């Protein structure tokens, strides 16, 4: 891990969806490596001060925040362009996400558009804005936080599954386009997708609650039932565990680790 720390100490990392859940876990690990952190979110802005203090205490050189709606695609693209002129982003983590459940025939078209914009198009925008600089410096790390739903489907999640499958495809295309950039010494530009299974974050609380209700209000039984339905390990992944992998992969020695899709799912997709 010491190599990853030296790699990150003079670098900027952008984390979308950074104020909570997986994004916050990744940002904390990158801060531990000494990176400066640019956080983007539209969530609970009241958390900004506490997150900033946490990241600085972990070792971040600087912490900056940006807020705008990723589903407003034209505004989003122009905002990223402006930010790219101020922040020399070397590590890009596309973690912003949104989910809603409904049968396909009843899924609102407006909601479909918003989920695809947030989960897929926003990553396209950040990548096309920030990756040219990575090409020029011959170092960059892109982590697209997809989901097991980028690999397998679940009923009533048409927009989310479509977006995450698209994010996996986008990852592979970008990896091919940038594969020959740099060398082992510079570290190259790598693009990978991480596909978490059940990770204990606020996003899955509604699904946990459904299982709790079906088990007579017993939270422990409900959570175990949720895990048993999909995840053979019967354990949740923590955001910090995902963050540790991201930090690890920032080392220059992983210059050939690109175009991969990495499930962290307790065996979910092995079934």
Token output for 13? 């990392």
Which candidate, 90, 72, 103, 86, places its Cα nearest to that of 15? 90
DSSP for residue 59: T
Does residue 160 have an active-site annotation? yes
Pick the catalytic residue from 87, 139, 160, 178.
160
CA separation, residue 60 to residues 9, 22, 27, 55, 180 (Å): 8, 18, 9, 6, 30
Residue whose structure tokens are 């690890």: 248
b (16+ CB within 10 A) / e for 178-209 = bbebbeeeebbbbbbbbbbbbbebebbeebbe
Tell me the angle at which helices 109-116 and 158-178 cross, rounded to the nearest 10 degrees: 30
Q: What are phi and psi of 77, to 5 degrees?
A: -60, -45
Q: Is 47 helix (H, G, I), strand (E, B) or coil?
A: helix
Beta pairing partners, 267: none
Contacts of 212 by beta carbon, 8 Å cutoff, 6+ apart: 218, 219, 221, 222, 223
- Give the residue numbers marked as catalytic: 160
């Amino acid at each position: 891990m010491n190599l990853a720390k030296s790699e990150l100490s003079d670098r900027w990392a952008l984390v979308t969806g950074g104020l909570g859940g997986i994004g916050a876990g990744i940002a904390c690990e990158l801060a531990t490596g000494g990176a400066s952190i640019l956080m983007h979110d539209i969530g609970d802005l009241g958390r900004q001060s506490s997150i900033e203090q946490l990241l600085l205490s972990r070792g971040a050189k600087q912490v900056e925040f940006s807020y705008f709606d990723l589903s407003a695609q034209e505004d989003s693209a122009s905002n990223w362009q402006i930010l790219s002129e101020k922040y020399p982003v070397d590590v890009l983590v596309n973690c912003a996400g949104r989910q809603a459940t409904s049968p396909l025939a009843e899924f609102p078209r407006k909601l479909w558009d918003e989920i695809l914009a947030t989960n897929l198009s926003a990553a396209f925008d950040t990548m096309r804005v920030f990756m040219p600089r990575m090409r020029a410096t011959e170092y960059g790390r892109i982590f697209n936080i997809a989901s097991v739903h980028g690999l397998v489907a679940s009923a009533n999640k048409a927009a989310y599954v479509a977006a995450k499958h698209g994010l996996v495809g986008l990852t592979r295309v970008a990896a091919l386009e940038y594969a020959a950039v740099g060398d082992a010494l510079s570290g190259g530009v790598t693009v990978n997708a991480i596909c978490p299974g059940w990770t204990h974050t606020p996003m899955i609380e509604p699904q946990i609650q459904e299982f709790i209700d079906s088990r007579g209000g017993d939270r422990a039984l409900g959570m175990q039932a949720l895990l048993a339905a999909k995840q053979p390990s019967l354990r949740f992944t923590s955001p910090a565990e995902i963050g540790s992998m991201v930090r690890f992969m920032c080392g220059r020695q992983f210059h050939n680790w690109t175009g991969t899709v990495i499930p962290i799912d307790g065996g979910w997709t092995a079934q």
